[in-house]
């Protein structure tokens, strides 16, 4: 349990760019580190860590551990896990946070086994118990029907993966300073069990939900799959992405790429319009951090109204077209 009083964020990078969740974790890390009295640091395996340091400082990192090696240019689980686990065993931080991305979900459990630590997956909220010294890690449980807060009192580091878009990004400035700490690791003995041959980017003409500033989502209240046209029409008028509840995806009304919620995508747009969505906890877990939530539902007791900033009670088939018409008129 003897540790360095540091909170680390795994600085995931792909093709020369930091993952967006890194900025979110550093922003939340500023709050946690101040509360706990820890130093906020980033861990950056890459081919050239110096190129990323300034941005990490700007989002609150006071220290950046750079692990530079040509083998770390692209993600390979065995190389990354060896590098991060060796650094953890030597420096012994209190907390390590990872984004719940494809990479984070692969790396974090591997590292947890290597350093004999616990791991809480897919967290949507974090806090710190100063008296007990425990990270409070909240995540949906039992199919999303409850929110469970998990602690790891007996092992260090305390580790968690955190879903994207649950924390706001807080940039301190464009010229923050910090300490770069180079760290060397010998990867020569790590077997190369896989190798990246090429990267193929999916061609998609739709707006990415994770990056969208406006999202219009449809739920069971839409009625039938062909009625999703009014959702698409409103989204087009707003320049928004189209989202959906799990119920509509499970029913085959729309592709799973549009699913918002615990088992779908976590989003944080400026405006989220929920049409015919009752507001089950699984869906709320994926969108309740949106800046402004507009709900349209004929049930005045629908849970979605508990988190909505603006609620419209009535038939969405009448309200949404009128909404679209007024937006078009305002733009004319």
CATH number for the domain that contains residue 45: 3.40.50.620
How many domains would you assign to the chain?
2
Please check whether residue 192 lies inside any domain of the structure: no
Average pLDDT over residues 22-33: 95
Has residue 203 been placed in a domain?
no
> Are residues 100 and 164 located together in one domain of the fold?
yes
Same domain, 134 and 68: yes
Q: Check residue 292 and give its pLDDT.
A: 94
Model confidence band, residue 210 (pLDDT cutoffs 50, 70, 90): confident
Same domain, yes or no, for 241 and 146? Answer: no
Asked whether the predicted pLDDT for residue 203 surpasses 60, the reply is: no
The pLDDT tens digits for 171-182 are 999 999 999 999
**Same domain? 27 vs 165:** yes
* 114 and 37 in a common domain: yes
Same domain, 159 and 223: no
Phi, psi values for residue 216, rounded to 5°: -115, 120
Residues 116 and 217 in one domain: no
Q: Evaluate if residue 145 carries a pLDDT over 70.
A: no
Q: Last residue of a domain, which of 182, 217, 251?
A: 182
Regarding whether 151 and 93 lie in a shared domain, the answer is yes
pLDDT digits (tens, 9 = 90+) for 212-247: 899 999 999 999 999 999 999 999 988 899 999 999
Same domain, 34 and 174: yes
Q: Which domain holds residue 242?
A: 209-331
Mean pLDDT of 307-332: 89
Burial tier of 69 (Cβ tally within 10 Å: 0-12, 13-18, 19+): middle
Whether residue 259 sits in one domain with residue 157: no
CATH code of the domain containing 312: 3.40.50.1220
């Amino acid at each position: 349990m003897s540790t360095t009083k540091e909170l680390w964020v795994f600085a995931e990078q792909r093709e020369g760019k930091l993952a967006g969740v890194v900025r979110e974790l550093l922003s939340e890390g500023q709050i946690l580190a101040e509360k706990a009295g820890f130093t906020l640091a980033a861990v950056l395996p890459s081919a050239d860590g110096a190129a990323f340091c300034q941005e990490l400082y700007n989002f609150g990192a006071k220290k950046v551990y750079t692990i530079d090696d040509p083998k770390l240019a692209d993600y390979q689980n065995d190389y990354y896990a060896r590098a991060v686990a060796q650094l953890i065993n030597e420096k012994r931080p209190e907390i390590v946070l990872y984004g719940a991305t494809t990479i984070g979900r692969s790396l974090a459990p591997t590292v947890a086994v290597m350093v004999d630590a616990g791991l809480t997956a897919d967290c949507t909220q974090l806090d710190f118990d100063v008296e007990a010294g425990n990270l409070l890690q909240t995540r949906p449980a039992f199919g999303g029907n409850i929110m469970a807060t998990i602690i790891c009192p007996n092992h260090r580091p305390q580790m968690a993966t955190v879903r994207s878009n649950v924390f706001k990004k807080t940039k301190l400035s464009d010229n923050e300073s910090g300490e770069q700490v180079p760290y060397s690791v010998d990867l020569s003995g790590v077997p190369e069990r896989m190798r990246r041959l090429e990267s193929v980017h999916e061609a998609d003409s739709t707006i990415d939900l994770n990056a969208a500033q406006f999202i219009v989502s449809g739920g069971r209240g839409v009625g039938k799959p062909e009625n999703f046209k009014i959702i698409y029409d409103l989204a087009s008028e707003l320049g928004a992405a189209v989202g959906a509840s799990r119920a509509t995806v499970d029913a085959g009304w729309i592709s799973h790429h549009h699913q918002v919620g615990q088992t779908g995508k976590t989003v944080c747009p400026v405006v989220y319009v929920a049409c015919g969505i009752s507001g089950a906890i699984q869906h709320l877990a994926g969108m309740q951090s949106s800046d402004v939530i507009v709900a349209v539902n004929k049930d005045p007791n629908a849970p979605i109204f508990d988190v909505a900033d603006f609620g419209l009670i009535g038939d969405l088939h009448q309200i949404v077209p009128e909404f679209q018409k007024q937006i078009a008129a305002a733009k004319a």
